[in-house]
Structure 1
Amino acid sequence: MGVTLGHRRSSEEEGIIPKDAEKRRLSRKDYGSTSADSWSDCPTCQGTGRIPRGQEGQLVAVIPCSDQRLKPRHTKLYVCVSVVVCLFICSLILFFLFPRSVSLSPVAVKSSYVFFTPTTVEMNVTNILNITNENFVTVQACNMDLQVLIADTIVGKIKISNVTTIKPRFQKAYTYVVPITIADQGLNNYCKSASIRIHTLFLHLQMTMKVNYLAHSEQLSMDTFEYIDCGSNSTVPHNI
């Protein structure tokens, strides 16, 4: 008897589908697909190649360490840019908020008013003072103490609690009046003498002032000299 050898046709080629494949194909409509028609017999997709609906939030994807998504590009660039920006912002803050100097400088004698009493010489001297603010914030000047001396004798004194406010990077001229009383007999005779044409007195002004800015207080001081004609009124301004 002769035996003929040949290839056995698969059941799919003959149009016959296995029962297991038919069941799996019919059950596909109950699941959401995450890939194409996959027939992997994995426990997660239960042999259908699809993740069952309702389990997408419970499953965890495993990514290999060589995956490029775990190696973001330009990381060093982003870190360096962030550090530079932070340093730049800190430098700006320090530059604008760093305390700078506040200075006092005398300008001129604006006017003087002189009148005589039987025992004294009274004068009201108006002076101009420049207050310079080098800061980028407003400065509040207060507690101004001023005394006027002739030689070692105090002839005038004033105290002002609230002086003025100086804007950032600004210089402000402040005007103040100093009352002076000369009771010394020799100076009285000198100022009241009609035979003397020039009655010049050199006044020594000692000033202290407190300034507040950036939660910081500072004590300023100034010494200056000015000359006054004590024999008559003089309203002509002259430099100190």
Structure 2
Amino acid sequence: MEGSNSALESESLKHQRTRNDYGSTSAVLQGSVNGRANFATQGSPDLVSNSSGYEEFFRGSVPCPSCRGLGRIRKEDERGLVAIIPMKDERLKPRRTYLYVLIAVIVSILVAGLILFFMFPRSVVALSKQPYLEPNYLHINVTMGIVNFTVTNRYNFSNSNYFPVTITGIQSSVMYDMKVLTTGKNNTQLRIPMRSTKEQTVNLDILLQGDEAYLATYCADHRKWVHDLFMQFELTANYSYLGRTEQTTLTTYQHVSCGNSTSV
């Protein structure tokens, strides 16, 4: 009996010790939880103020895009960032780059060629399709050996350019027997559209006397082939285009009549 009682007492002592240990452990845990709650309740203003301080400190900066979220840079330096791309990156491999460059070069050459073709200056050509000239006015004095008559020579100016040109003035001189008889001018401006032809005239007042006085007898003859003179005409025409001034010349040999039924 005494052995069983001692066993029971030792067993009850073990249970009591276990309860005491459990109670102390619960108290410690409860204190820890209460402490955390008090710290969270009482320390929340400090945390708010600290977070506000961090926001104020980071206001002039932005996260660094290459620091894996661990760094910050100034906002004014954000636009000056340079991305470093590895050499094996697919974006560095040319994709039809040569084709685009070739197309750009071909288009540039084509445009330049078209501009040169259309804007390249070409000569303005003067032509005379009036081989025979008859006098508008005629006065013959066989006694004094004087022949005075006026003829009008017509010239066609052909503009082969792809832009208009302006004839600013023409001058024509008449030569007979290697001697200049007279010179006529026409300073009327004539605008010629691109790829077209227009006509301009010049009046020439011719006087035959002195060394040519003998011609008065031929000019007074009513036969046409007798008073038909072969004369040389020298034309000089000035024209302008695109702010430039050029000159064209023409030499013709034409038949001129110095007589008709009004001879004296």
TM-score range, shorter chain: 0.5 to 0.7
Contact 1:113-1:233 within 8 A present in 2 as well? no
Inter-partner Cα distance in structure 2 for 1:148 and 1:171: 24
Gaps of 5+ in 1: 1-26, 31-41, 235-240
Tell me the TM-score normalized by structure 2.
Answer: 0.61
- How far does the alpha carbon of each residue in 1:209-236 deviate from its partner, in whole angstroms, 9 at most, with x for none? 22223444333221112212211179xx
Aligned-pair CA distance for 1:67: 2.2
Contact 2:184-2:202 within 8 A present in 1 as well? no
Residue from 166, 170, 182 that aligns with 2:208? 182
Aligned-pair CA distance for 1:157: 1.0
Partner in structure 2 of residue 140 of structure 1: 166
Which protein is bigger by CA-based radius of gyration? 2
The residue matched to 2:135 in structure 1 has which SS?
strand
Contact 2:167-2:239 within 8 A present in 1 as well? yes
**Letter aligned with residue 123 of structure 2:** S
The residue matched to 1:107 in structure 2 has which SS?
coil
Residue from 77, 96, 116 that aligns with 2:139? 116
Q: Does 1:98 align with 2:126?
A: no
Inter-partner Cα distance in structure 2 for 1:104 and 1:224: 11
RMSD of equivalent CA atoms: 3.5
Inter-partner Cα distance in structure 2 for 1:86 and 1:97: 16
Inter-partner Cα distance in structure 2 for 1:146 and 1:200: 20
Inter-partner Cα distance in structure 2 for 1:197 and 1:167: 40
Contact 1:114-1:121 within 8 A present in 2 as well? no
**Letter aligned with residue 131 of structure 1:** F
Say which structure is richer in strand.
Answer: 1
Cα 1:111/1:201, change in 2 over 3 Å: closer
Residue from 100, 107, 131 that aligns with 2:157? 131
**Letter aligned with residue 138 of structure 2:** F
Inter-partner Cα distance in structure 1 for 2:248 and 2:96: 54
Cα 1:233/1:128, change in 2 over 3 Å: farther
Inter-partner Cα distance in structure 2 for 1:92 and 1:233: 59
Aligned-pair CA distance for 1:111: 4.9
Residue from 199, 203, 225 that aligns with 2:231? 203
Contact 1:130-1:172 within 8 A present in 2 as well? yes
Partner in structure 2 of residue 89 of structure 1: 111
Q: Percent identity?
A: 30
Contact 1:131-1:172 within 8 A present in 2 as well? yes
- How far does the alpha carbon of each residue in 1:60-82 deviate from its partner, in whole angstroms, 9 at most, with x for none? 76643322233352111111111
Q: Does 1:223 align with 2:251?
A: yes
Matches within 5 A, 1:158-169: 158-169=184-195
Inter-partner Cα distance in structure 1 for 2:67 and 2:253: 101
**Letter aligned with residue 204 of structure 1:** Q
**Letter aligned with residue 220 of structure 1:** T
Gaps of 5+ in 2: 1-50, 56-65
Inter-partner Cα distance in structure 1 for 2:149 and 2:69: 106
Aligned-pair CA distance for 1:156: 2.1
Residue from 40, 45, 57 that aligns with 2:69? 45
**Letter aligned with residue 224 of structure 1:** T
Cα 1:110/1:173, change in 2 over 3 Å: farther
Cα 1:63/1:117, change in 2 over 3 Å: closer
Inter-partner Cα distance in structure 1 for 2:224 and 2:89: 103
Aligned-pair CA distance for 1:174: 1.7
Q: Does 1:172 align with 2:198?
A: yes
